Amino acid sequence: MSILLQKQRKNHNQSQKGNRFLITINVLGSAGPIRFLVNEEELVATVIDTALRSYAREGRLPVLGSDLNNFFLYCANAGSDALSPWEAIGSRGGRNFVLYKKQPQTQMTDSEGGSAAATSVLGRKGSGSWKAWLNKSLNFKISSH
């Protein structure tokens, strides 16, 4: 009888180490959210890894890959800063998150062999607006308001 009581106490002590809660992670471009239980002291990096594995196991599209360093996790209702991979998932009190894939940076080189500033496809500045590019590409007239 005392062995059973010791096992119950051990299980009770382990459950008090951290609260578990259900989180919802929306993946940008995916049809629906991923939901799973986490311990409030789990690191954000571990949560991202678990989400990517679950996403891949379910065969969801678009294919994301498995490198957790290529992703940002944002708390959906607590500011605009991405969560640090080394902070606890329960530190901000959120239960709803959004997972974004980092945009790859491309290194451009000029004709002299020197290195130009790295730019992304969506973030070009100084070369005109997207409306101007669209007008040139498709010969449309898009009026500005």
Question: CATH code at 57?
Answer: 3.10.20.90
C-alpha span between 98 and 26 (Å, rounded): 5
Residue at 76 is within a domain: yes
Residue at 139 is within a domain: no
pTM of the model: 0.61
Backbone phi, then psi, for 4, in 5-degree steps? -60, -45
Residue at 89 is within a domain: yes
Residue at 113 is within a domain: no
Residue at 112 is within a domain: no
Residue at 108 is within a domain: no
Q: Share the mean pLDDT of the chain.
A: 75
The full length of the chain comes to 145
Residue at 84 is within a domain: yes
C-alpha span between 15 and 12 (Å, rounded): 5
Residue at 110 is within a domain: no
Give the total number of structural domains in the chain. 1
| Residue 97 structural domain | 18-101
- Tens of pLDDT, residues 16-34: 567 999 999 999 888 899 9
- Tens of pLDDT, residues 26-68: 998 888 999 999 999 999 999 999 999 999 999 998 899 889 9
